[in-house]
Structure 1
Amino acid sequence: MTTATARPERDARKRHARYQYRDSKVAYLLLLPVVILLGIFVIWPAVYAGYLSFQNWSFYKAPEFVGLDNFLAVLKDPLFWATIRRGFLFVLMTVPVMLVLAFFFASLVVAVSRRFATVLKVSIYIPTIISTVIASIVFVLIYDYSGGLLNWFLGYFGIDPIAWIGDPAWALLAVAVPAIWLGLGLTSLIMVAAMVDIPMEFYEAAAMEGAGWWQKTRYITIPQMKNVLLYLLITGFVAAIQQFELPLIMTGGGPLDSTTLPNLFIFNHFRNDINVGYSIAAALLLFVVLGTVSALVFKVLNSEKLVD
């Protein structure tokens, strides 16, 4: 290579490096406000919460280091483990049902005409924009023992009124129904977007081989939506086990703590217990439980990128 040829190439590399450095500086400047806000409202509170979890601290006295006492107290508390088990039961009540209903609804949206599909998508998304507080009050009125719509409807079939939110046998299920209703809209729209993204050639080839709806769903739709379904499973699990507003407003955690989910348990301790370190330790242990289960789900289902 001659000197005349090498010089333009060297100059081009220098210009490329200079532009790349300038673009990197611009990118860092744009990210700086987000990093600052993240540090102030997420990273620092998390670090400080970890510090307070090792302290015997309240709003009325200075922190006193107690080591692992708060964590041991939470781990020895049978009520904490009862709320964890109840949280997993609540997940089983809500997440599978929501995913199945959302899948069938998304399949319906994809199959109908575009105009009707728009109507369906708008109608299913409406519960998502409704306040959880308002939804809780509405369902409390529906479940009312003497004048509720549900008992009035069951009365036509000769069924005696049921204390839906006053009976420990029914209360958790009564809270699960509005949780499914509130989460169904966004889950359905995400599934619709995933189904629309699947190449139509796959279905056309399957139809030529005589495949029906079930065969197409089993061998094309579900495998192609693997990563989306995994995402919805993880986010649904985290949202369900951390449900707070519905049991707080509908039942207050009762009757007999039958609807006290983990976040409500932590909130009640934070509100009533002088030692705030206990509540923070319980929250950190709940975080460990959520992270462990999420990691196990990822490990079992193995979210790999699909290859055409």
Structure 2
Amino acid sequence: MTTPAIDDRRAAKRRADRHRYRDTRLAYLLLAPVVILLGIFVIWPAVYAGFLSFQDWSFYKDPQFVGWKNYADVLTDPLFVATIGRGFLFVLMTVPPMLVLAFLFASLVVSVSRRFATVLKVSIYIPTIISSVIASIVFVLIYTYDGGILNAVLAAFHIDAVAWIGDPAWALLSVAVPAVWLGMGITSLIMVAAMVDIPTEYYEAAAMEGAGWWQKTFYITMPQMKNVFLYLLITGFVAAIQQFELPLVMTQGGPLDSTTLPNLFIFNHFRNDVNVGYSIAAALLLFVVLGSVSALVFKFINSERLVD
């Protein structure tokens, strides 16, 4: 025989179960469109691309299974291996300078008045909204051997003109400069947001101990921003090694393939090679490289959550 208190608890549990079921059903209903679109435009193309990477296939004939041949051809292609190495070099040219410059700019923003900080944030974000194609054309005009702005400045100091995008020794660096310029905006704003979120009590306590700007930066700001640095390092690496528009518009991968980065290499093969399976295999191998490096960064860099 049950008591009224037990009956009330059972009734409350049934009502809670009904509400929980209704909330769960509503959640699934709201997620359904996203899951369906994800399946159609991401999951299924990825699965089908994996299937085609094992095929000798083009737009003009039916797929023919060739096993691991496409992957073996890509891995033994010295041009593909060279583009991967060039991609890592491009990462070193762009990501560290961008992080350092963005950190210095963010430090300046948080140290000035609010009105001036707004002006600085707007000015640094402007390159982010500029098309990569437009930026490429602008920098080509800057780098032009005869009549380019950069060589005109060098001539004013009696320095000989340099073929910035025509010399293999300078071409990749010339592409890296606009890449840093385009990525500075969002990187700086993320760092500004992270710096503003650091409790001011830390700096006040350090100031009472006589700490200067360098001590506050190395012992407070940078440790508190380690997760932000990790995020920007990963996203910067992925974006840099996959850079496509700048080398395509500025140099078309030249001279002598000195600016052919992995995505441009894959694009050129996809456009010119009848065996599309080769291009898909190269793209999947690039995905493996990106995933492996990102996993290694997460493994070797401590990213524990910060606690105030």
**Normalised TM-score (structure 2):** 0.99
AA of the residue aligned to 2:172: L
Q: Which amino acid aligns with 1:73?
A: D
1:175-214 matched pairs, under 5 angstroms: 175-214=175-214
The AA in structure 1 aligned to 2:207 is: A
- 1:244 alignment partner in structure 2: 244
Q: Distance in 1 between matches of 2:71 and 2:259?
A: 24
Partner of 1:55: 55
Structure 1 position 276 matched with structure 2 position 246: no
Bigger Cα displacement from structure 2, 5-14 vs 238-247: 5-14
Give yes or no for the alignment of 1:285 onto 2:303: no
Q: In structure 1, what is the Cα distance between the partners aligned to 2:11 and 2:90?
A: 64
What's the CA shift string for 1:260-306, capped at 9, x where partnerless?
00000000000000100000000000000000000000001021111
In the alignment, structure 1 residue 217 sits paired with structure 2 residue 217: yes
Q: For 1:220 and 1:191, how far apart are their aligned partners in 2?
A: 14
Query: Residues of 2 paired with 1:226 and 1:11: CA distance?
Result: 50
Distance in 2 between the 1:273 and 1:80 partners?
14
How high is the sequence identity, in percent, across the aligned residues? 81
C-alpha offsets along residues 45-79 of structure 1, whole Å, 9 cap, x if unaligned?
Answer: 00000000000001111000000000000011010
Matched, 1:126 2:126: yes
CA distance in 2, matches of 1:83, 1:257: 9
Range 83-92 or range 4-13, more displaced: 4-13
Q: Secondary structure at the match of 2:166?
A: coil
Superposed, which structure 2 residues align to 1:52-201 within 5 Å? 52-201=52-201
Question: Aligned residue for 1:297?
Answer: 297
Distance in 2, Cα, partners of 1:233 & 1:10: 53
Query: For residues 11 and 96 of structure 2, what CA distance do their matches in structure 1 show?
Result: 60
Query: 1:291, 1:306 → 2: CA distance?
Result: 25
Spell out structure 1 runs of 4+ moving beyond 4 A: none
Looking at structure 2, the residues matched to 182 and 25 of structure 1 have their Cα atoms a distance apart, in angstroms, of 44
What does 1:3-82 align with in structure 2 at a 5 Å threshold?
3-82=3-82
Secondary structure (helix, strand or coil) at the match of 2:57 reads strand
Q: Secondary structure at the match of 2:62?
A: strand
Gaps of 5+ in 1: none
- Match status 1:264 vs 2:264: yes
Q: Which one-letter code corresponds to 2:11 in the other structure?
A: D
Q: Aligned to 1:63, what secondary structure does the other structure show?
A: strand
Residue 172 of structure 1 aligns with an amino acid whose one-letter code is: L
Structure 2 unaligned spans of 5+: none
Cα distance in 2 for partners of 1:148, 1:194 equals 39
Instruction: Report the secondary structure of 2:211's partner residue.
Output: coil
For 1:145, what is the secondary structure of its paired residue? coil
* Aligned-CA RMSD value: 1.0
- CA shift digits 1:239-262 (9 cap, x unpaired): 000000000000000000000000
Write the distance in 1 (CA, Å) between the matches of 2:179 and 2:82: 20
How many aligned residue pairs are there?
308
Once the 2 structures are TM-superposed, how far is the Cα of residue 221 of structure 1 from its aligned partner?
Answer: 0.7
